[in-house]
């Protein structure tokens, strides 16, 4: 009797599995054959490029940073000088001093525009030939929020690095420079 019950139970389970398999197949086919996509979008990767402009008059270095690239960006500047050279920054309302010693331009610098309105005055008491203030400028591409609007200058990613690859001719020329 027990063998007969086992056979019936086995046949019932097999019938259930076959029935389930027959019912599930059309559902799976719906998800695999009734989904389509078409079209495409060309991606164009561009670099943000900025060019610093400096003008010196009467112990004051006037700074500007022009965006010559194809993407909007934020810019920041920092100055380095000898220990004995005192620097006094003067900036309009578009600039903010950061805790890291950089001055940040608050507005987005679109391609073709220039971040201006900042200068560095060198304290007198040094000889004119000793006047050497190095200005470093950096840019960070604009980041955008979920709504498509640009994020503020405080949220720009200043940690990014651009990997620039030189072609063979440029690398060969660089090797011949000494």
- Going by C-alpha positions, the residue among 64, 78, 70, 82 that lies closest to residue 131 is 82
Q: Is the pLDDT of residue 70 over 50?
A: yes
pLDDT tier at 67, thresholds 50, 70, 90 = very high
Q: Is the pLDDT of residue 174 over 70?
A: no
pLDDT tier at 93, thresholds 50, 70, 90 = very high
The mean pLDDT of 67-91, rounded to a whole number, is: 89
* CA–CA gap between residue 140 and residue 50 (Å, rounded): 10
pLDDT tier at 162, thresholds 50, 70, 90 = low
* CA–CA gap between residue 100 and residue 84 (Å, rounded): 21
Token look-up 């920054």 returns 89
The mean pLDDT of 78-82, rounded to a whole number, is: 88
Q: Are 118 and 106 in contact (CB under 8 A)?
A: no
- Going by C-alpha positions, the residue among 59, 73, 70, 56 that lies closest to residue 115 is 73
DSSP assignments along 20-60, one per residue: HHHHHHHHHHHHHHS---------------EEEEEEEETTE
The domain made up of 50-145 has a fold known as: Immunoglobulin-like (2.60.40)
Domain borders along the chain are: 50-145
The mean pLDDT of 155-175, rounded to a whole number, is: 63
pTM of the model: 0.64
Summarize pLDDT for 118-152 with one digit per residue, the tens: 999 988 666 666 667 889 999 988 888 899 888 88
Share of the chain above pLDDT 90, in %: 29
Q: How far is CA 21 from CA 18, 33, 35, 173, in A?
A: 5, 18, 22, 69
């Amino acid at each position: 009797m027990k063998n007969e019950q086992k056979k019936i139970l086995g046949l019932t389970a097999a019938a259930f599995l076959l029935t389930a398999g027959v019912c599930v197949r059309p559902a799976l086919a719906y998800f695999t054959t009734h989904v389509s996509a078409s079209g495409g979008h060309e991606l164009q990767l561009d670099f943000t490029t900025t060019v610093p402009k400096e003008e010196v008059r009467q112990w004051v270095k006037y700074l500007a940073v022009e965006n010559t690239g194809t993407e909007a960006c934020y810019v920041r500047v920092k100055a380095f000088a000898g220990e004995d050279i005192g620097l006094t920054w003067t900036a309009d309302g578009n600039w903010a001093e950061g805790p890291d010693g950089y001055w940040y331009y608050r507005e987005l610098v679109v391609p073709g525009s220039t971040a201006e309105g900042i200068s560095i005055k060198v304290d007198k008491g040094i000889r004119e030939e000793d006047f050497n203030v190095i200005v470093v400028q950096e840019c960070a591409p604009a980041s955008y929020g979920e709504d498509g609007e640009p994020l503020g200058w405080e949220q720009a990613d200043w940690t990014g690095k651009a990997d620039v690859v030189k072609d063979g001719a440029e690398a060969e020329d660089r090797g011949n420079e000494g």
